[in-house]
Structure 1
Amino acid sequence: MRLAELLGIEHPIIQGPFGGGLSSVALAATVSDAGGLGSFGAHHLEPDAITEVVRDLRGATGKPFAVNLWVPQATEREPVDLAPHIARVEPLYRRFGLEPPRDVVVPGFTDQADALLAAAPPVISLVMGLAPRWLLDAAHAKGIVVLGTATTVEEAIALEECGVDAVVASGSDAGGHRGAFLRPVEHSLVGTFSLVPQVVDAVRVPVVAAGGIADARGVRAARALGADGVQVGTGFLATHESGATEAHKVALGGQDARITVLTRLFSGRHARGIHNRLIAELAAEEGAVPPYPYQNGLMRPLREFAAEQPLADYMSLWAGQAAPLSSIRSAKDYFAALLEP
């Protein structure tokens, strides 16, 4: 129970953090109140909004919770000429009577991290890279636990060496964005149940298994492979309390969720989601889209429009490979089901 002791929780189950508005205070608080670690994805938020989220989480639960940020990669901060990319997405926008965005504004990671450290949540989780030394030092000085995310054994070792308190071993089964940072995503696609025992053997800090874990069978299997706990994403995304649209939740438990693919089309970063019409239509452009955060900004208005309609064929339906095991129910009931012997 090393992980539970480290995090101050009863059950070593972490609710995966969702960015882009899919997280909710209600979901994180419900999981934390049930004895797990609720999480909130904040990589898309401005600093003031991060401060507000931490305040709201404190007001909603007296138990530990986590807030997640993405560590930026160097190539994602290089200037990009948006003009040809705007022209490329314009026909798609015109199809729905929309105007594509003309610029992309991105919150700065340092400002986000400073706001998060000032708000001092019990746990900070990071994906996409190594935790900067200044962030780790400041977090530990405040008694904040820091989790890092690895997609390979080499990344797990690097995270331990940089000083994180625990490593989330995220297998290629997982839904949403891939966090590879030492090698290209295409060279870092290790399945969860191959990755976990190798990471357990390679590091001394607690290891959290993530990806393709959607029911009590997956929880037991991950623990049998040596994981100190699990992180569950897609199953919680399907619950009533998540910020996902009803169309997204329905899709997670449907037959279409049996086919998930990695795509850069929605954000500029590889992410696993349910194959739909937009992915099929734009498949030839996978290599042409600009990196995150530029493609993410260019596609955001279309994603938001599709979610409002709803038009599932044009939504980013993030889903892990175990999505068909999920069902729409309360987060409290789902959490209890994960604990079944």
Structure 2
Amino acid sequence: MATVWGRLAVPVVAAPMAGGASTPELVAAVAGAGGLGFLAAGYLTAGAMAEQVRRVRELSDSPFGMNLFVPAGPSDPVAVAAYRERLRPEAERFGVELPERIAPDRDDWDAKIEALLADPVPVVSYTFGLPGAAEAAALRAVGSVQVGTVTSVEEARAAAESGLDVLAVQGPEAGGHRATHRADARPGETPLLELLAQVGSETGLRLIAAGGLGDGAAIAAALAAGAVAVQLGTAFLRSDESGAGAAYRAALVDERFAETVVTRAFTGRPARGLRNAFIDRHEPYAPAAYPEVHHLTLPLRAAATARADLDGMHLWAGTAHALARSGPAAQITRELWAAARAAGAR
């Protein structure tokens, strides 16, 4: 990590946001401001991932990262079927069909590993678990720095024991999926700064702080707590280079959606987003079944997005979402770092 970190003028990381929000243009813009950008391979094929890598290299010669979703085992089909029945009225309302059979899905994991071995990127990070020992060793051998995303001291220990180089410590304030290593795990509630201290006392690895960091004071506090960098996702969702749609961008600063909650209703994994009617109707019944629930609700979410129906969309957002600003991502990066410096960050 020293080689990558030595080239960073600004300790700000653009978080990987799967589903389209993280674009090559966003990655390049943050890198151009002195930070580090991450692409998100989640939900993409290996070929689509490789195309995004190619595009970033066209736009920038700075280091960047690629994030992978670690595949999980199958979930309880009975629980998934019961949730499907509950969602049928939603499907009728939107005029879409829910999938009756959901095929096993490893998110093209094996092909993605092969692609990253054939054409290495500077940094590879993992969400929802850890790579196998042979996979980690192979990526290490081709020169990729490896980052494990952790939400607890136990996960941090496992990541350190697996030989990863850096830990992205994700607090409960983070938007989007909690990166718990088990889909059925109950996410911890230890605040980010406290979690950083706990993880730092257990490992000697570099720590990246993630979760609810929306202004200079929060960034400075995370760095003072022992992080070598901060990872921001929601803060870039309204940027010019973000792949987020217009309705999503507007919702982030809409007073009607001021509250965020953690829900399994959209994907079967706990994720923080703006509270809306879909969550209120279905959260109590959503099973811990990922990626099955993700595939089950995909037609509903697509239809809601097409209609700009904010009460049916998944609107991932961290607790500092109201601070998200519009404009060029490079400008946002520089302004946040200037505010952090003014708050005492060095």
* TM-score category (smaller protein): over 0.9
The alignment covers a number of residue pairs equal to 336
Of stretches 226-235 and 244-253 in structure 1, the one that deviates more from structure 2 is 244-253
What SS does the corresponding residue of 2:129 show, helix, strand or coil?
A: coil
Per-residue displacement from partner, 1:284-321 (whole Å, max 9, x unpaired)? Answer: 313xx361111101111211221122111111000011
Within 1, Cα distance between the matches of 2:238 and 2:185? 26
Match of 1:90 in 2: 88
What SS does the corresponding residue of 1:339 show, helix, strand or coil?
A: helix
- 1:44 positional shift: 0.6
Within 1, Cα distance between the matches of 2:128 and 2:307? 32
Equivalent residues of 2:9, 2:35 under 8 A apart: yes
Amino acid at match of 1:300: L
Match of 2:205 in 1: 205
What SS does the corresponding residue of 2:29 show, helix, strand or coil?
A: helix
Compared with structure 1, are the counterparts of its residues 306 and 3 closer, same or farther at alpha carbon in structure 2 (3 Å cutoff)? farther
Amino acid at match of 1:73: A
Match of 1:220 in 2: 220
Match of 1:60 in 2: 59
What SS does the corresponding residue of 1:197 show, helix, strand or coil?
A: helix
Equivalent residues of 2:151, 2:187 under 8 A apart: no
Compared with structure 1, are the counterparts of its residues 12 and 234 closer, same or farther at alpha carbon in structure 2 (3 Å cutoff)? same
Within 1, Cα distance between the matches of 2:238 and 2:34? 19
Match of 2:325 in 1: 327
Of stretches 168-177 and 11-20 in structure 1, the one that deviates more from structure 2 is 11-20
Per-residue displacement from partner, 1:28-67 (whole Å, max 9, x unpaired)? Answer: 1111121111111111111111121111111121111111
- 1:95 positional shift: 0.4
Equivalent residues of 1:7, 1:145 under 8 A apart: no
C-alpha RMSD of matched pairs (Å): 2.0
Of stretches 178-187 and 159-168 in structure 1, the one that deviates more from structure 2 is 178-187
Within 2, Cα distance between the matches of 1:240 and 1:38? 15
Compared with structure 1, are the counterparts of its residues 166 and 266 closer, same or farther at alpha carbon in structure 2 (3 Å cutoff)? same
Unmatched tracts of structure 2, length 5 or more: 342-346
What SS does the corresponding residue of 2:311 show, helix, strand or coil?
A: helix
- TM-score of the two chains, using structure 1 as the length reference: 0.92
Within 1, Cα distance between the matches of 2:189 and 2:256? 22
- 1:114 positional shift: 1.9
Per-residue displacement from partner, 1:224-266 (whole Å, max 9, x unpaired)? Answer: 1111111011101221211111111111123245311111111
What SS does the corresponding residue of 2:168 show, helix, strand or coil?
A: strand
Equivalent residues of 1:257, 1:324 under 8 A apart: no
Amino acid at match of 1:253: V
Equivalent residues of 2:16, 2:40 under 8 A apart: yes
Amino acid at match of 2:301: R
| 1:1-341 equivalences in 2 (<5 Å) | 5-6=4-5, 8-74=7-73, 77-78=74-75, 80=77, 83-105=81-103, 106=105, 107-181=107-181, 185-186=185-186, 188-286=188-286, 289=287, 291-340=289-338, 341=341
What SS does the corresponding residue of 2:77 show, helix, strand or coil?
A: coil
Equivalent residues of 2:175, 2:211 under 8 A apart: yes
Match of 2:344 in 1: none
Compared with structure 1, are the counterparts of its residues 296 and 184 closer, same or farther at alpha carbon in structure 2 (3 Å cutoff)? closer
Amino acid at match of 2:10: H
- 1:152 positional shift: 0.9
- 1:8 positional shift: 3.5
Equivalent residues of 1:22, 1:237 under 8 A apart: yes
Within 1, Cα distance between the matches of 2:240 and 2:96? 30
Compared with structure 1, are the counterparts of its residues 207 and 329 closer, same or farther at alpha carbon in structure 2 (3 Å cutoff)? same
Per-residue displacement from partner, 1:127-154 (whole Å, max 9, x unpaired)? Answer: 1112321221111111111111110122
Equivalent residues of 2:16, 2:233 under 8 A apart: yes
- TM-score of the two chains, using structure 2 as the length reference: 0.91
Within 2, Cα distance between the matches of 1:44 and 1:4? 30
Unmatched tracts of structure 1, length 5 or more: none
Within 2, Cα distance between the matches of 1:182 and 1:312? 29
Compared with structure 1, are the counterparts of its residues 90 and 313 closer, same or farther at alpha carbon in structure 2 (3 Å cutoff)? same
Compared with structure 1, are the counterparts of its residues 88 and 183 closer, same or farther at alpha carbon in structure 2 (3 Å cutoff)? closer
What SS does the corresponding residue of 1:195 show, helix, strand or coil?
A: helix
What SS does the corresponding residue of 2:114 show, helix, strand or coil?
A: helix
What SS does the corresponding residue of 1:73 show, helix, strand or coil?
A: coil
Within 2, Cα distance between the matches of 1:324 and 1:3? 34
Compared with structure 1, are the counterparts of its residues 121 and 7 closer, same or farther at alpha carbon in structure 2 (3 Å cutoff)? farther
